């Protein structure tokens, strides 16, 4: 059946029988299934030309959708069951999300043409193999981080990525909205964040073969309505969006817009522009009450734009905050005294803990990179473990929820093969096989601590990805391997059947081709890549 990610249980008819659709199939959707019915009409309708009208009273739909909450207990949240036989398609989800994931399986079974936006000419004749599938995800957090700060991805691209996540049964989009190199979300109260902070004169090193790298200015941002649209689009597709506003490091774009946010007693922050280089930046936020208020105002708007149903988790960064300016700044030293915190690290913890409480009081949970562990955290805070598994292990053992995204495994900015022709010379090699053998739960965790691993995400940092073609190249096919590692219940990493996965990938490449995804070809980059 060549399904990716591989389902928990699947059987296919031994006689090879198939259900053949007529030219005008009808759809029966039970209560709670209306959203997925709409999705099928829109997406499968585009590829097949079907209108999928509602089945009349007493008529049996060719496709029958139902939500059966009773199933959640036995099969788990987001689970689905799919049967195809002489009676057509029966798809039942434990919830609407499960139903949507089942619809992805259905689409894969229909074949690559089901991923196109218009029917192909010629004798169509859609059919499905008789199958029985019972499937459920291993983890509730199956995510991808998209860094839209280093290089802006226009709104249409983000919506397309939401569709690509859905096609792989992934359900979290972590949007890295701010960094030294750009501020990408309009904040009405502080307009200079995007008027100034969304634009940089040039990026000093793009991709070596790119005609864009040389002194090309770069910028862009999402308006408030763009964000509302992205969030609504994701919500309809059962994708949670985690907005990230990175503090107190990675903040030079904000300081360029509002110099009072920086450490003015040690640097002339008014002279700073949006950063035109990559790496870890020393221009960090000043540890003042005014800065806290400013960011509370920012987060107030963020919470308004990202409602709790779609974004129960809000990311505050917390990574890579060099302390040199705080060490040099008399004002920061006085603050350390005044607050009675433990040096510069204590100041960083003070920042994060402030927003931890602030977000908790508003019904949200803070997420931060594993540096936030340094300094003590409230119980509800979630840790993104990126510097390997260590932070995640420590956090889980201390009772915090964790999202695993170790750079050694799932940083998709790192190159996927060695070789001089490889267009992305960043980091170490993280091959398709490496990603396939990614295991979110380290074996040394106790069962109790392992229960704190909410799941995992693949991180797409875009320093060297200045357009969608480059993002596609880095993300695919590795995201397909990642999806299987977080959705499916695979054996231990060493005993995983990578060859079997590769064999199934042949069918998956055809789906990606139909979708127009510019993945890295298995034989290596094309000459223009």
Residues recognised as catalytic: 179, 250, 320
Distance CA 445, CA 457 (A): 19
Candidates 16, 201, 221, 45; CA nearest to 116 is 45
- Least distance from ligand TNX to the Cβ atom of residue 287, Å: 20
Q: Please state, in angstroms and rounded to a whole number, the distance separating the CA atoms of residues 148 and 462.
A: 7
Taking the CB of residue 500, how many other CB atoms lie within 10 A of it? 10
Residue 369 CB, nearest distance to ligand TNX (Å)? 4
* 3-state secondary structure at position 379: coil
Looking only at the bridges linking them, the beta strands covering 218-219 and 199-200 are: antiparallel
- Tokens representing 417 are 């093969």
Q: Given the complex with ligand TNX, which of 146 and 393 has the nearer CB atom?
A: 146
Please answer whether residues 141 and 491 qualify as being in contact, where contact means their C-beta atoms are separated by less than 8 angstroms: no
Residues that bind ligand TNX (CB under 6 A): 319-320, 369, 386, 411, 413, 461, 463
What is the Cα–Cα distance from 258 to 394, expressed in whole angstroms? 36
Q: Using CB atoms within 10 A of its CB, is residue 185 exposed (0-12), middle (13-18) or buried (19+)?
A: buried
- Smallest distance from ligand TNX to CB 463, Å: 6
CB-nearer residue toward ligand TNX: 95 or 463: 463
**Closest CB to ligand TNX among residues 224, 387:** 387
Provide the minimum distance between the beta carbon of 235 and ligand TNX in the complex, in angstroms, as a whole number.
26
Peptide bond into 477 cis (omega under 30): yes
**For ligand TNX, the closer CB: 61 or 455:** 455
CB of 461 to ligand TNX, least distance (A): 3
Quote the least distance from Cβ 495 to ligand TNX, whole Å.
Answer: 29
Q: Which is nearer to ligand TNX, 44 or 381 (CB)?
A: 381
Ramachandran sector of residue 516 (left: φ over 0; alpha: ψ -120 to 50; beta: rest): left
Cα-trace Rg, the chain? 24
Nearer to ligand TNX, 355 or 461 (CB): 461
């Amino acid at each position: 059946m060549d399904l990716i990610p591989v389902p928990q249980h699947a059987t296919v008819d031994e006689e090879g029988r198939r259900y053949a659709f007529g030219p005008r199939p009808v759809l029966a959707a039970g209560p709670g299934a209306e959203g997925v019915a709409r999705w099928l009409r829109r997406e499968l309708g585009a590829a097949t030309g079907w209108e999928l009208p509602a089945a009349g009273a007493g008529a049996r739909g060719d496709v029958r959708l139902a939500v059966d909450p009773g199933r959640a207990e036995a099969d788990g949240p987001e689970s689905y069951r799919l049967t195809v036989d002489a009676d057509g398609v029966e798809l039942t989800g434990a919830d609407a999300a499960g139903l949507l994931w089942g619809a992805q399986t259905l689409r894969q079974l229909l074949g690559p043409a089901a991923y196109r936006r218009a029917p192909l000419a010629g004798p169509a004749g859609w059919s499905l193999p008789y199958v029985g599938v019972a499937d459920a995800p291993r983890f509730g957090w199956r995510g991808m981080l998209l860094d839209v700060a280093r290089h802006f991805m226009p709104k249409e691209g983000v919506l397309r990525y939401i569709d690509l996540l859905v096609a792989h049964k992934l359900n979290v989009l972590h949007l890295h909205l701010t960094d030294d190199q750009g501020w990408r979300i309009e904040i009405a109260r502080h307009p200079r964040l995007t008027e100034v902070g969304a634009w940089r004169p040039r990026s000093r090193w793009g991709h070596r073969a790119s005609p864009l790298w040389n002194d090309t200015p770069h910028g862009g941002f999402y308006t408030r309505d763009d964000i509302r649209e992205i969030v609504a689009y994701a919500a309809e597709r059962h994708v949670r969006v985690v907005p990230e506003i990175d503090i107190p490091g990675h903040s030079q774009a904000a300081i360029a817009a509002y110099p009072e946010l920086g450490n003015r007693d040690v640097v002339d922050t008014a002279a700073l522009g949006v950063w035109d280089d990559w790496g870890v930046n020393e221009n960090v936020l000043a540890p003042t009450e005014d800065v806290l208020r400013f960011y509370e105002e920012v987060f107030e708007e963020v919470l308004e734009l990202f409602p709790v149903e779609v974004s129960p988790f809000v990311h505050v960064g917390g990574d890579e905050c060099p302390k040199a300016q705080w060490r040099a700044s008399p004002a920061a030293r006085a603050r350390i005294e005044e607050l009675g915190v433990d040096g510069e690290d204590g100041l960083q913890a003070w920042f994060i803990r402030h927003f931890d409480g602030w977000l908790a009081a508003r019904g949200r949970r803070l997420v931060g990179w594993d540096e936030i562990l340094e300094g003590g955290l409230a119980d509800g805070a979630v840790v993104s473990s990126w510097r390997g598994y260590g932070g995640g292990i420590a956090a889980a053992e201390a009772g915090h929820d964790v999202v695993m995204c170790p750079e050694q495994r799932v940083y998709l900015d790192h190159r996927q093969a060695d070789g001089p022709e490889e267009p992305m010379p960043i980091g170490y090699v993280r091959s398709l096989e490496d990603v396939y053998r990614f295991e979110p739960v380290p074996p040394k965790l106790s069962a109790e601590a392992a229960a704190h691993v909410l799941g995992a995400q693949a991180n797409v940092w875009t320093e060297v990805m200045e357009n969608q073609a480059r993002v596609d190249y880095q993300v695919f096919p590795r995201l397909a391997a990642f999806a299987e590692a977080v959705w499916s219940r695979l054996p231990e990493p060493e005993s995983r059947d990578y060859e079997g996965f590769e064999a199934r990938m042949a069918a998956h490449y055809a789906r990606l081709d139909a979708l127009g995804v510019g993945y890295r070809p298995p034989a290596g980059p094309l000459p223009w890549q």
